[in-house]
């Protein structure tokens, strides 16, 4: 009996090595801090307390600090492959986001910021999260979306095609907001919500942007990436194209970062449920102020009811 094994898009070992290097070398955290602030605000809008929460895969400590200050959480456990780099005072579990160590129905809340876009089997990870949540438990997550770095992707592809006769994948193909909302439903979450925010950050040059990506631990970790470094001629052409196409009047270039926020609840009978077919008490025709016809009846001439 064969099993459907999801494609391996990301080199997880390389990704974690780069994340570790970034954390040791002074990581750039502006995007993570924004995502953490947004998730904390979303949690504050939920009028309840979560006794046991897990911060899943989030690099650094920004999200854990924001949530700990919210007063809505009892115990907060950080869970990620590099949890050994977290402050000693936190509850820590060293585990991969693709293989959660929690039993079914054990957690009240799972939060994650800018981590789940790097898993190879996101549908499987979402199913694991939903199973680990207690009934009426909540998932709040922020992921990098498909509109991220559209400018850099366009310029690198065009420059490589010009200077090398072809383009190789340089930036990961992140998911779109509609696809992520559908994945929440497929994973069995109730009341799923997915929405996106775009953040435009300006840089002096394309190379400054690429240095920030390196400091985020977010450089190319695709399995199918080219092992050949970009040639200087290709980088120079990409930088020139970037300045031509995406610079403001002052000469600074724009870089788009899309952050998609997800929320979903483990099903519970207390949650709002859709009405059963046939249970409506008001006819649609009455609500619209029109005459009702049977499915096989032809419409009359234009202008007549």
**Other beta carbons less than 10 A from residue 140's beta carbon:** 23
Cα 260 to Cα 196: distance, rounded to the nearest angstrom: 4
Contact 36, 114 (CB under 8 A): no
3-state SS class at 257? strand
C-alpha 287, offset from chain centre: 40
* Residue recorded with tokens 């095609």: 161
Pairing of β 190-203 and β 253-265:
antiparallel
The residues near 93 (Cβ < 8 Å, ≥ 6 apart) are 54, 77, 78, 79, 83, 101
Q: Say what the pLDDT of residue 244 is.
A: 97
Q: What is the fold, at CATH topology level, of the domain defined by 12-268?
A: Rossmann fold (3.40.50)
Cα 297 to Cα 294: distance, rounded to the nearest angstrom: 5
User: Mind listing the pLDDT tens digit of every residue in the chain (305 residues)?
Assistant: 445 667 777 888 888 888 888 877 777 788 999 999 999 999 999 989 999 999 999 988 889 888 888 888 999 999 988 766 666 667 888 888 889 999 999 999 999 999 999 999 999 999 999 999 999 999 999 999 999 999 999 999 999 999 887 777 777 778 999 999 999 999 999 999 999 999 999 999 999 999 999 888 887 777 777 767 778 999 999 999 999 999 999 999 999 999 999 999 999 887 766 556 555 565 655 655 556 555 555 544 444 44
Cα 195 to Cα 217: distance, rounded to the nearest angstrom: 25
Cα 158 to Cα 162: distance, rounded to the nearest angstrom: 6
Q: Say what the pLDDT of residue 82 is.
A: 77
Token pair belonging to 34 = 């924004």
Q: Say what the pLDDT of residue 279 is.
A: 55
Q: Say what the pLDDT of residue 27 is.
A: 72
Token pair belonging to 81 = 């492959």
Cα 253 to Cα 242: distance, rounded to the nearest angstrom: 7
Q: Say what the pLDDT of residue 59 is.
A: 85
**Other beta carbons less than 10 A from residue 111's beta carbon:** 27
- pTM, two decimal places: 0.82
Please choose, from the candidates 101, 83, 81, the residue with its C-alpha nearest in 3D space to the C-alpha of residue 92.
83
Q: Say what the pLDDT of residue 147 is.
A: 94
Contact 203, 253 (CB under 8 A): yes
Q: Say what the pLDDT of residue 235 is.
A: 93
Q: Say what the pLDDT of residue 301 is.
A: 47
Domain residue spans in the chain?
Answer: 12-268
The residues near 24 (Cβ < 8 Å, ≥ 6 apart) are none
Beta-sheet strands, E only, within the chain:
50-56, 73-80, 91-94, 107-113, 133-144, 190-203, 253-265
Contact 253, 178 (CB under 8 A): no
3-state SS class at 267? coil
């Amino acid at each position: 009996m064969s099993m459907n094994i999801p494609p391996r898009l990301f080199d997880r070992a390389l990704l974690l090595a780069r994340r570790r290097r970034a954390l040791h070398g002074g990581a750039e955290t502006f995007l993570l801090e924004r995502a953490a602030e947004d998730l904390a605000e979303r949690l504050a809008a939920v009028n309840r307390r979560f006794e046991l929460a897990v911060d899943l895969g989030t690099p650094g400590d920004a999200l854990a600090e924001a949530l700990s200050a919210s007063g809505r959480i009892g115990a907060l456990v950080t869970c990620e492959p590099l949890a050994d780099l977290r402050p000693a005072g936190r509850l820590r579990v060293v585990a991969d986001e693709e293989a959660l160590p929690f039993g079914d129905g054990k957690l009240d809340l799972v939060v994650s910021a800018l981590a789940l876009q790097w898993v190879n089997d996101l549908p499987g990870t979402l199913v694991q999260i939903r199973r680990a949540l207690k009934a009426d438990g909540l998932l709040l997550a922020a992921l990098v979306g498909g509109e991220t770095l559209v400018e850099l992707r366009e310029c690198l592809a065009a420059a490589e095609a010009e200077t090398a006769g072809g383009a190789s994948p340089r930036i990961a193909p992140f998911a779109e907001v509609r696809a992520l909302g559908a994945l929440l439903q497929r994973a069995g979450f109730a009341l799923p919500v997915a929405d996106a925010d775009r953040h435009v950050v300006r840089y002096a040059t394309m190379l400054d942007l690429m240095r920030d990506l390196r400091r985020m631990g977010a450089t190319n970790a695709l399995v199918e990436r080219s092992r050949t470094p970009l040639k200087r001629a290709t980088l120079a052409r990409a930088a020139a194209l970037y300045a031509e196409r995406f610079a403001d009047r002052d000469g600074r270039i724009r870089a788009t970062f899309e952050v998609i926020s997800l929320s979903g609840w483990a099903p519970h009978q207390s949650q709002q449920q859709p009405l059963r077919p046939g249970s409506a008490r008001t006819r649609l025709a009455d609500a619209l102020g029109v005459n009702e016809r049977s499915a096989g009846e032809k419409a009359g001439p234009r202008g007549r009811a």
